[in-house]
Amino acid sequence: MRKRKIIIFCYLQFAIRISIVIFAADKKATMETFYKTHSYLVEHTNAPVRRDLMDEIDWNARLIGIKGTRGVGKTTFLLQYAKEKFGTDRSCLFINMNNFYFSKYTLVDFAGEFVKRGGKVLLIDQVFKYPE
């Protein structure tokens, strides 16, 4: 089977619209909110089909992008990956750039805080909405 190099940016609007307004000054409280959202989404992800693409991607790459039209399952794919490979392990975190947190704080700051807490895999959805 031939490996494909994939560039991933998720453009799918959430089937489940979850927007959490975060105005917490405490980074710990903020990060906990993201972890709770991640846990809820992963727990409630029940994709009826497992895509072969899951096995074709080199998940050790530093940056992976998934590109596709609305509604093809990019978000579900990422959540399915998180559920299958990490379960409740906090080294993986799914975030959505629609979150109001990112209107005030940068993705770089967030990723830095995530890494400080032992994070290794950051799954970013709706990245096209990020202004910078």
pLDDT tens, 63-94? 998 888 888 888 999 999 999 999 889 999 99
Residue 50 lies in a domain: yes
Residue 84 lies in a domain: yes
Residue 1 lies in a domain: no
pLDDT of residue 16: 31
With the CA atoms of 75, 80, 82 and 83 taken in that order, what torsion angle do they form, in degrees rounded to the nearest 10? 140
Helix (H, G, I), strand (E, B) or coil at 112: helix
How far is residue 125's CA from residue 96's CA, in Å, rounded to a whole number?
Answer: 5
Residue 5 lies in a domain: no
Number of domains in the chain: 1
Average pLDDT of every residue of the chain? 78
pLDDT band, residue 95 (cuts 50/70/90): very high
pLDDT of residue 41: 93
With the CA atoms of 100, 104, 109 and 111 taken in that order, what torsion angle do they form, in degrees rounded to the nearest 10? 10
Residue 88 lies in a domain: yes
Higher pLDDT, 5 or 83: 83
Residue 16 lies in a domain: no
pLDDT band, residue 11 (cuts 50/70/90): very low
By residue range, what is the domain housing residue 121? 27-129
| CB neighbours of residue 47 within 10 Å | 13
Please check the confidence at residue 9 and state whether its pLDDT lies above 70.
Answer: no
Residue 93 lies in a domain: yes
Residue 49 lies in a domain: yes
